[in-house]
């Protein structure tokens, strides 16, 4: 029989990860302008529906199907999840020796990962992107980018990043955060800057929404990281502890940086620091000790703060809600620090962190894995973005009139605050 404890644990973890995407809608919605909050949130909600379809039809098969012989692709053997019921009944009669829970649980757990990854992208283009264009892009991206990347990192024996390069990614530093943040950067560059970018301040319209969204993300992340152990055991508990302390350390670190730079800490800054800490610990949650998780949290906030407050203005890209500055930058920092702090006995490979072994092999593998992720995702994003742009007659963004009026009314015919009559 399957282990009922681990089965129940994984079902709960899947539910927690599914909660993260609506939580992100509140987080992004609060950060957006009043006239665009509905549009910002519906882009995130649209991902729930699109990924539910694409993951079932082919995403799962492309990521985890096949026999593992192809380094960057799963297979076509599980398209549409046909035969899932029969396979589940067969499993119940003859449980594989190494299986602790039914395979169907993993399908929804990994689907939830794809959902939150894809939803992160939308924050970079908030306030000016055509809703139809983002839906088409997401549909293609969740078929040709996310599943192959998941296979390259987590596909097991024969996978390009996880096996051949030997890079570690416990819960999605490469697969989730670097891929989504980089995609957001490329899309915001292809779309162009918002009206008034660099000349006016874009302030969050609803700070309590931001705090609510961050709280939901924080809660869901416990299933995200702990569930990536795929068993109710000590490593899952370690991942849980590390997630708590890293996010807490990053929150404190962000408030300290804000106090030093602008003279006072903010709730939006604290929430952003919390998320940055969650991002940085994701690749190493089950590989490092809690003291190292605290260090990772303390380090990531100044780096992400610099990327958001300085690099964005200096370089001139308009990442509206800082998907790149928080997720991609935080994911890169987490992947590199995992190469420093990984406990050798917990490593999936023959190598431990540089701090423990003095051997830079794992650190080099981590950097190579990050570079492969950046190249693969970056090239694919540009191609898909240009194709979608061509399909929409050369324009990914709404008209200047619609952007000025606000996308809530222009694109969806509704307002988050219909009784509001003041200035935006």
Please count the structural domains in the chain: 1
Model pLDDT for residues 16-45, shown as the tens digit of each residue:
999 999 999 999 999 999 999 999 999 999
Q: Give me the residue label for tokens 């396979």.
A: 87
Q: Are 333 and 177 in contact (CB under 8 A)?
A: no
Give the 3-state secondary structure of 333-379.
Answer: HHHHHHHHHCCHHHCCCCCCCHHHHCCCHHHHHHHHHHHHHHHHHHH
- Report the distance separating Cα 73 and Cα 154, nearest Å: 11
Matching residue, tokens 């490469």: 174
Q: Where would I find the beta strands (DSSP E) of 223-291?
A: none
The alpha-carbon radius of gyration of the chain (Å, integer) is 21
Residue 305 pLDDT > 80: yes
Which structural domain, as residue segments, surrounds residue 231? 4-412
Instruction: Please measure the distance between the N-terminal and C-terminal CA atoms of the chain and give it in whole angstroms.
Output: 59
CATH number for 288: 1.10.3430.10
Model confidence band, residue 128 (pLDDT cutoffs 50, 70, 90): very high
Asked whether 8 and 105 are in contact (CB, 8 A), the reply is no
Strand-pairing partners, residue 197, are: 200
% residues pLDDT > 70 (the chain): 95
Distance CA 408, CA 294 (A): 40
pLDDT value for 101:
87
Residue 82 pLDDT = 87
What angle, 0 to 180 degrees and rounded to 10, lies between the N-to-C axes of helices 267-281 and 4-31? 140
This prediction has a pTM of 0.95
**Predicted confidence (pLDDT) per residue in 42-81, tens digit:** 999 999 999 999 999 999 999 999 888 888 999 999 999 9
Residues 267/207, Cβ–Cβ less than 8 Å: yes
Answer whether residue 72 is part of any domain. Answer: yes
86 located within any domain: yes
The verdict on residue 304 lying in a domain is yes
Burial of residue 99 (CB within 10 Å: 0-12, 13-18, 19+) is middle
CA distance 318 to 125: 8
pLDDT over 70 (residue 89)? no
Helix, strand, coil fractions of the chain, as percent rounded to 5: 75, 0, 25
Is residue 422 domain-resident?
no
Tell me if 420 is assigned to some domain: no
Answer yes or no: is 424 within a domain.
no
């Amino acid at each position: 029989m399957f282990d009922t404890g681990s089965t129940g644990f994984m079902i709960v973890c899947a539910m927690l990860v599914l909660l993260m995407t609506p939580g992100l809608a509140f987080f992004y919605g609060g950060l957006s302008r009043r006239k665009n909050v509905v549009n910002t949130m519906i882009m995130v909600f649209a991902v729930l529906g699109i990924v539910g379809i694409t993951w079932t039809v082919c995403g799962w098969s492309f990521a985890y199907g096949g026999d593992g012989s192809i380094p960057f692709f799963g297979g076509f053997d599980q398209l549409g999840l046909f035969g899932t019921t029969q396979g589940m009944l067969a499993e119940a009669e003859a449980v594989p020796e190494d299986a602790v829970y039914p395979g169907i649980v993993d399908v929804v757990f990994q689907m939830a990962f794809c959902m939150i990854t894809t939803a992160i992208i939308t924050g970079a283009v908030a306030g000016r992107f055509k809703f139809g264009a983002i839906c088409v892009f997401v549909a293609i991206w969740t078929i040709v980018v996310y599943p192959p990347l998941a296979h390259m990192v987590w596909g097991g024996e024969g996978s390009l990043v996880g096996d051949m390069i030997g890079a570690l990614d416990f819960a999605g530093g490469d697969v989730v955060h670097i891929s989504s943040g980089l995609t957001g950067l490329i899309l915001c560059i292809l779309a162009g800057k918002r009206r008034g970018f660099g000349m006016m301040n874009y302030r969050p319209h609803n700070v309590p929404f931001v705090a609510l969204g961050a709280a939901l993300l924080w809660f869901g992340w416990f299933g995200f990281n702990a569930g990536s152990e795929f068993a109710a055991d000590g490593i899952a508990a370690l991942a849980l502890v590390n997630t708590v302390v890293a996010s807490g350390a990053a929150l404190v670190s962000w408030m300290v940086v804000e106090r030093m730079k602008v003279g006072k800490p903010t709730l939006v800054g604290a929430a952003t620091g919390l998320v940055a800490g969650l991002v940085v610990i994701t690749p190493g949650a089950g590989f490092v000790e809690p003291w190292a998780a605290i260090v990772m949290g303390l380090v990531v906030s100044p780096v992400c703060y610099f990327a958001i407050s300085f690099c964005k203005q200096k370089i001139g890209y308009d990442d509206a809600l800082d998907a790149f500055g928080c997720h991609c930058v935080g994911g890169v920092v987490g992947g590199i620090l995992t190469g420093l702090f990984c406990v050798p006995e917990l490593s999936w490979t023959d190598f431990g962190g540089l701090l423990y072994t003095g051997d830079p092999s794992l650190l080099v593998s981590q950097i190579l894995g990050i570079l492969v992720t950046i190249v693969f995702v970056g090239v694919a994003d540009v191609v898909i973005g240009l194709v979608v742009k061509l399909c929409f007659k050369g324009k990914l963004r709404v008209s200047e009139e619609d952007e000025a009026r606000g996308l809530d009314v222009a694109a969806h015919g509704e307002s988050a605050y219909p009784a509001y009559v003041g200035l935006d």
